Amino acid sequence: MPENDSRGERRFAGTAVSPGIVRGQVHLKGVLMDEPESRRISENEVEPEKRRLKQALLQTRGQIVEMRQKIEEAAGSENASIFDAHLLLLEDSTVLEEVTKLLESECRNVDRIYYEVIERYLESLRRIEDPYLRERAIDIEDVARRVLRNLGPGEYADEEMVFEGLGEEFILVAHDLTPSDTASIDRNHVLGFATEVGSMVSHTAIMARSLNIPAVVGIHALRSDVETGDEILLDGYNGLLIVRPNQETLEEYEILKAEKAILLDDLQELRDLETETADGHQITLSANIEFAHEISQVQKQGAEGVGLFRTEFFYANEESLRSENAQTRQYVDVAVAVAPNAVIIRTVDLGGDKLMPGLLAEPEPNPFLGWRGIRVCLQEPDIFRPQLRSILRASARGKVGVMFPFICCVEELREAIAALEEEKLNLRKAGEPFDDNIEVGAMIEIPSAALMADELAREVDFFSIGTNDLVQYTLAVDRVNDRVSDLFRSANPAVLKLIKQVVEAAHRNGIWAGICGEMAGDLLMTPLMVGFGVDELSVGASQLLSVRRAISRLKVSECQNLVKEISGLSSAVEIEECCRTLVMEKYPELIT
């Protein structure tokens, strides 16, 4: 929603995904995928339609390979490998077999059938609550759009998905952008972009950061409030888009740009330092990743290992990706890259509305309270056991930990650990090397687990608190539902009490406790994390140096005093204000 002020400016708030401040004119971009018309064909035309699809797929593959080469030259191989996933999506046998079957049975044009099959997949992905999997829809849409263009008329198929011919610098405004769109952006013209949807974890956001393109996403209904030619200022630090900025605003932003440039240079000096408080207390600062190719960027930002390696990607794509050997190779690559630091691999967190194709016959009535996380793994050994073996095999090549998601009781945790021990025995019999002392952890993201933390701590080597789900389940708030999103407050007293209780239970039982949810990178909450005695914070790569700087400005004693101060407060707003007072004293430049 826009914010109006007395000077006539219009301000739109979204999510900052790539830093920078730019000013220019708006260029509106239209929809991503054009809908082909449906037409009947004769049986004699079915085989030519199959050949037409095959040719379009080959042409699309060539375009993706070319795009990958361009990005490798511009931003390095780790960023170009995003398009490796696009090649896998292009060749997805499930999609192609369904298209072929419908083409033969319905005798309709292949481009329309391909469009309909893809749209069904996209519709199911768009409903997914988990942002990491929901954002994969844009990758499928990217590939499908290219295929449909190549199935179209020759002159349309050859049209490049770039933004040329405007003859001036501009800021792109769109409903969404695909990674290909972002990779195709000509920086001589496109200063930055803003979209109506998207998140920090989308491939488009990753690409924007890799190419240093300022970007803001998640500005609802933006295209209905701006027009091509409007003058705007895009703030990729604070997630703002300002239409028709006045002179006072422009002057303020010139000062802000200069300050940010100094700050960025200053933060780089922290890259190779350990993370410790002003009074010398060390905290491990690691990174969250979803793909092995993110490791290079993580290392550039000075991460002390990987605190959360999400593995759902293996199960949302081709079956070959989830084979034991394929997973082992990925885990080994990461373990070797971060050595001597550790990588903690979360076993696959499928569930409810984010299941891999064919796993659940019918949708669950309440998927977020249903079959997900460790519950799926324990009931699907063909999924769980190969992954456990892959993780164990990788542990022979580096420091690897394993953690189990969505634990709600001791019985589940014991069953998961028993499965791990059985796979150790199987590898031992097969003569396969592994780390027999691999660290085992439980994710604490359900209130019952937090309340049973002492009992769970006796079974594992560490806790990792998933604050996103812990907040959601404690407050009964769907964090992606706009109607109740204002209730999703990490600083809610109930949430903070549970986190404190979990950390204290871990230490009583001689194990360490980390945080891998969004709260770990929330600089307003950093003093509380230090005051609670959290041992590890795992954050996104772009947040690492800012969090390290924040910790370096804090003393444990003053953070513990803050914890005491907020213990008597009854609202998230009051707690946030207390935290803000300390933060503005210690590192105001990081949050303004």
Cα-trace Rg, the chain = 25
- Distance CA(247)–CA(260), nearest Å, equals 20
Host H or E run for residue 393: helix 381-394
Q: Quick check: 253 and 238 in contact, CB under 8 A?
A: no
Selection from 21, 61, 399, 354 nearest residue 215 by Cα: 21
3-state secondary structure of 228: coil
Selection from 393, 395, 416, 415 nearest residue 404 by Cα: 416
Read off the DSSP letter of residue 533.
T
By DSSP bridging, strand 215-217 and strand 15-18 are antiparallel
Catalytic residue chosen out of the listed positions 377, 408, 516, 579: 516
Quote the crossing angle between the two packed helices 110-126 and 46-75, to the nearest 10°.
50
Dihedral over alpha carbons 443, 445, 446, 447 (to 10 degrees) = 110
- Distance CA(346)–CA(591), nearest Å, equals 31
Active site residue 281: no
Distances (CA, A) of 297 to 79, 183, 287, 289, 300: 9, 17, 10, 10, 5
Catalytic residue chosen out of the listed positions 203, 293, 559, 579: 203
| 72 token code pair | 């490798």
Dihedrals phi, psi of 559, to nearest 5 degrees: -70, -35
Within 8 A by CB and 6+ apart from 550, the residues are: 523, 526, 583, 586, 587, 590
Active site residue 516: yes
| 561 token code pair | 């005093």
Residue 426: which region, alpha, beta or left (left: phi > 0; alpha: psi -120 to 50)? alpha
- Distance CA(276)–CA(253), nearest Å, equals 32
The distance of Cα 179 from the centroid of its chain, to the nearest Å, equals: 14
Selection from 513, 544, 546 nearest residue 530 by Cα: 513
- Distance CA(538)–CA(515), nearest Å, equals 6
**Which amino acids are annotated catalytic?**
203, 516
